[in-house]
Amino acid sequence: MVKVKVEFLGGLDVIVGKERIHKVEVTRDDGNAVNVGDLIDYIVAKMIKEKNDVEVFIDNGSIRPGILTLINDTDWELEGEKEYELDDGDVVSFTSTLHGG
Amino acid sequence: MFVAPSDPTNKVKNLKLSQLCELCHSRKAIIKRPKNLQKICKLCFFHVFETEIHNTIVDNKLFYRGEKVAVGASGGKDSTVLACILKLLNERYDYGIELVLLSIDEGIVGYRDHSLATVKRNQQQYNLPLEIFSYQELYNWTMDEIVEVAGIRNSCTYCGVFRRQALDRGAAKLGIKHVVTGHNADDMAETVLMNILRGDVARLEKSTAIMTTSKGSPIKRSKPFKYSYQKEIVLYAHYKKLDYFSTECSYAPEAFRGTARELMKNLEAIRPSCIIDIIYSGEGLVLKPKKPKRQTVVTKNSSKKMKEGNNTTSAKKTEFVDGNRCEKCGYLSSNKICKACMLLEGLENSRAKISIENDTSADGAAKTLRTLENLTF
């Protein structure tokens, strides 16, 4: 089990009860280390209130293009994306870049 | 209230050489630049991002010393970062310009009022003067009222025409001749793509200009973020913990633009440089000069007419003359009456019909709509 902070920024908070910052505990049944892929599954299953909102967040099985994913402020592309193994206290943020300026 | 993103507390263990910044080689790289795929650290990112905008400003001679410049401020990410960066660069490189935040209140309850609250906080945060002009005072219509009359489908058309003029008029009232907007590279690529898809070649040629001026207008417009990626603007705002507003407008976004945007985002995911590439392509496109009217293709139908009287076709179309003025409001217009006045005339006619029955102006159509949406059976 890991305890991490998940943030929904740039307007994405609307899909998770309009709260920007969430503290969550994620576990895996097989006892392996929890990775970002597991966290995303957790968000889809437990945190997104309306089923219709899932497609705002997910596209083609991964994070929708146009949403910026940071792990401890580092672009997740540099951290192995879904494979990154989470530690207690990690901060994962999702920021929508799509809203008007 | 603004909730800043949290700072990570976990320290990086076992930093590998390949994870270091490609510029300073001493700190951990945190982003991969979409422009050139370079991996760089936070401090180097601030430095290159700011310097590139400075170079854009200098290379294109956007400002002159002593110039008064209005930043079109919506409270969104682009204009917030623009205001922040221009203030910073003005101090760092001593441009000697005077910055003012200029906001337009379209009158969309539940949306614009909230974003204007953000602009008001920005005014404090950056210590810049702020001026707000509303559709209500300029046109005697709020967007909420317009949508009630004209329907939600046309909302972007009205809003776009009115905002363009409102920014000009606002600037003119303040004695400012230069308005900068936060349009970024993604916006511009999107516009180029849309103009290609629509066959709007006249707009296509203009759409990549960093600065636009009209002969008759004293107000010029420029886009210092022309070469800045949306992704980097959002990252900059994130790392600097800038307070910006990020809710989609209550009225549906333009469907065509939305689709073009999605296409661009999907392309960017595969080839990040395509945004800058499409701007480059747009810059390279030059329209071939128009053929004189007489030589236009003569179709079977029209050839008969041509024989009967050869003057009928030529006189009809009005040429675009830069610097004409609207007969009603005096604003720049290629036609006798400007587009805003034409739209307003249409609106006035329909207002007369419905004004008696429903008066929801206090709450606004956006609120009414949301109340309707929330109703369940």
Q: Verify that B236 and B276 share a domain, yes or no.
A: yes
Say whether A101 and B183 touch across the interface (CB within 8 A).
Answer: yes
Q: Chain B residues within 8 A (CB-CB) of chain A? A: 3, 5-10, 12, 19, 28-32, 39, 42, 74, 76-79, 182-184, 187, 230-231, 234-235, 238-239, 246-249, 253, 261-262, 265-266, 268-269
- Look at residue B319 in the predicted model and tell me its pLDDT: 43
Residues B326-355: what's their mean pLDDT?
79
Q: Verify that B3 and B123 share a domain, yes or no.
A: no
Q: Verify that B39 and B67 share a domain, yes or no.
A: no
Q: Verify that B125 and B273 share a domain, yes or no.
A: yes
* Res. B359: pLDDT tops 80: no
Quick check: is B114 in a domain? yes
| Residues in A touching B7 (Cβ below 8 Å) | 73, 91
- Look at residue A34 in the predicted model and tell me its pLDDT: 94
- Look at residue B150 in the predicted model and tell me its pLDDT: 84
* Res. B110: pLDDT tops 80: yes
Structure-block tokens of residue B50? 């700011």
From B249, B284, B319, give the residue that closes a domain.
Answer: B284
| Residue B237: closest CA among B82, B356, B117 | B82
* Res. B130: pLDDT tops 90: yes
Quick check: is B15 in a domain? yes
Q: Verify that B245 and B132 share a domain, yes or no.
A: yes
Quick check: is B55 in a domain? no
Q: Which of A77-91, B122-136, B272-286, B348-362 has the lowest mean pLDDT?
A: B348-362
The DSSP call for residue B27 is: S
Q: Which domains does chain A show, CATH number per domain? A: 2-96 (3.10.20.30)
Nearest CA in chain B to A88: B10
Quick check: is B324 in a domain? no
Q: Which structural domain, as residue segments, surrounds residue B23?
A: 1-45
Say whether A73 and B10 touch across the interface (CB within 8 A).
Answer: no
| Residues in B touching A100 (Cβ below 8 Å) | 74, 76, 248-249, 253
* Res. B362: pLDDT tops 80: no
Quick check: is B307 in a domain? no
In tens, the pLDDT along B197-248 reads 988 888 888 889 999 887 667 899 999 999 999 999 999 999 999 999 988 7
Q: Verify that B31 and B148 share a domain, yes or no.
A: no
Say whether B5 and A9 touch across the interface (CB within 8 A).
Answer: yes
Determine the distance in angstroms separating the CA of B177 from the nearest CA of chain A, rounded to an integer: 22
Mean pLDDT of chain B: 84
Q: Which of B38-52, B159-173, B200-214, B308-322 has the lowest mean pLDDT?
A: B308-322
Q: Verify that B196 and B278 share a domain, yes or no.
A: yes
Residues B82-103: what's their mean pLDDT?
97
* Strands laid side by side in the A91-96 sheet: A21-26, A2-9, A91-96, A67-71, A74-75
Please give, one letter per residue, the 3-state secondary structure of B178-242.
EEECCCCHHHHHHHHHHHHHHCCHHHHHHCCCCEECCCCCCCEEECCCCCCCHHHHHHHHHHCCC
ipTM entry = 0.94
- Look at residue B337 in the predicted model and tell me its pLDDT: 85
pLDDT category of residue B372 using cuts at 50, 70 and 90: low
Quick check: is B321 in a domain? no
Distance CA B148, CA B341 (A): 19
- Would you say B180 and B74 are in contact if contact means Cβ atoms under 8 Å apart? no
- Look at chain B and report how many structural domains it folds into: 3
| DSSP states of A3-23 | EEEEEEETTGGGGGTT-SEEE
- Token look-up 């969430």 returns A22
Q: Verify that B89 and B225 share a domain, yes or no.
A: yes
Determine the distance in angstroms separating the CA of A99 from the nearest CA of chain B, rounded to an integer: 6
In tens, the pLDDT along B156-205 reads 888 888 988 899 999 999 999 999 999 999 999 999 999 999 888 888 88
Say whether B261 and A14 touch across the interface (CB within 8 A).
Answer: no
- Look at residue B322 in the predicted model and tell me its pLDDT: 58
* Strands laid side by side in the B98-105 sheet: B130-134, B98-105, B68-72, B178-180, B220-222, B211-212
Q: What is the pTM of this model?
A: 0.84
CATH number for B178 = 3.40.50.620
Q: Determine how β-strand A91-96 pairs with β-strand A2-9.
A: parallel
| Residues in B touching A95 (Cβ below 8 Å) | 234, 238
Of B231, B239, B253, the CB nearest to A97: B231
What size, in residues, is chain B?
Answer: 377
Q: Verify that B216 and B111 share a domain, yes or no.
A: yes
- Look at residue B304 in the predicted model and tell me its pLDDT: 47
Looking at per-residue pLDDT, the higher value among A79 and B359 belongs to A79
Looking at per-residue pLDDT, the higher value among B252 and B300 belongs to B252
From B259, B284, B309, give the residue that closes a domain.
Answer: B284
Quick check: is B53 in a domain? no
* CB-based burial label for B137 (10 Å; 0-12, 13-18, 19+): exposed
- Look at residue B248 in the predicted model and tell me its pLDDT: 77
Q: Verify that B183 and B78 share a domain, yes or no.
A: yes
* Res. B317: pLDDT tops 70: no
pLDDT category of residue B376 using cuts at 50, 70 and 90: low
Determine the distance in angstroms separating the CA of B337 from the nearest CA of chain A, rounded to an integer: 30
Distance CA B366, CA B371 (A): 9
Quick check: is B57 in a domain? no
* Chain center to CA of A70: 9
* Res. B16: pLDDT tops 90: no
Residues at the binding site of B are 72-74, 78, 104, 182, 187
Q: Verify that B210 and B258 share a domain, yes or no.
A: yes
Q: To the nearest 10°, the Cα dihedral for B261, A44, A37, A91?
A: 90
Residues at the binding site of B for ATP are 72-74, 78, 104, 182, 187
- Look at residue B366 in the predicted model and tell me its pLDDT: 63
Residues A37-42: what's their mean pLDDT?
95
Return the residue in B7, B13, B30, B243 with the most chain A beta carbons within 10 A, the one to mutate for interface testing.
Answer: B30
Q: Verify that B100 and B174 share a domain, yes or no.
A: yes
Of B29, B234, B235, the CB nearest to A78: B29
- Look at residue B367 in the predicted model and tell me its pLDDT: 62
